[in-house]
Amino acid sequence: MKLYIIGNGFDLNHGMKTAYWDYREFLAQNHSTIIREYENSPYLRAYNYNSDSRWSDLESYLRIEFEECMSDLSGNYYPDMNSERTPGWDDIAIEVDNNFSFMELFTKEYFYEWIYDVQVPNGLFKREDIDKTASFVTFNYTKTLEDTYYIPSDNILHIHGSVDDLSTIQFGTPENHPDSIYSSLENQYSDDDFYNVTYAPAIGKISAYANSAYKNLQDNFSILRNFVLGYSKIDEVIIMGHSYPLM
């Protein structure tokens, strides 16, 4: 049995507008303010790069610089016990929201809205010669295999989720591991006398925003392994639509 590994180049070869820059163009036409929020967010990796770089490797640049973020916000918004006004116990958490509230729209709702409407242009592509009895692991969210080649859905693993279900979509980077971020910040700030009312809410929010742009490699590997082991006679692997840098 053949196993196909399908990447985004497969959809692009079918004339589909599924590049990161196509997502930017969709946002520019429909939700333009969120482009500025992403590009101007000082605590994302993207902030230190030009616009082309921010979008050419978009998911990687969604990495939250959580240590820098918490250091800056705690330095600027930690409650002032000497102030005449009531200490702003939740000021740090409020600033976390101010910096990252766009994230879930960017990686979930708006992303899904875009990818859901991407279609294969009629007659504007060269149909691939694909064995319809094979099994398929696709890194694409689209249903090109199902809708264009009529591959049974039981033979396909959408490893990063599918347009069939928003809750399955993974768009982001493995570096945004929410539990690791939470533990790291908790270990760093938990000795503070006011940790529970100042840092804890902010750390919870940062880890939640990280989770909205997180790819869980460990879980994905387990799902992939179980899928592949379900086909005991795979004797050929065909890779389509993936690119690799020259070594």
Determine contact, residues 132/149, Cβ cutoff 8 Å.
yes
Indicate the pTM of the whole model: 0.90
pLDDT at 231 over 90: no
* Whole-number percent of the chain with pLDDT over 90: 82
Q: For residue range 75-113, what is the model confidence (pLDDT) as tens digits? A: 999 988 776 566 589 999 999 999 999 999 999 999 999
**Sign of the torsion formed by the C-alpha atoms of 153, 225, 177 and 194:** positive
Q: Which residue has the higher pLDDT, 122 or 99?
A: 99
Q: How far apart are CA 144 and CA 140, in angstroms?
A: 9
Which of 1-15, 157-171, 229-243 is least confident?
229-243
Q: Which residues pair with 2 in a beta bridge?
A: 236
pLDDT at 210 over 60: yes
Q: How far apart are CA 164 and CA 174, in angstroms?
A: 23
Per-residue pLDDT band at 120 (split at 50, 70, 90): confident
User: Per-residue pLDDT averaged across 118-137, rounded?
Assistant: 85
Q: Which residue has the higher pLDDT, 124 or 108?
A: 108
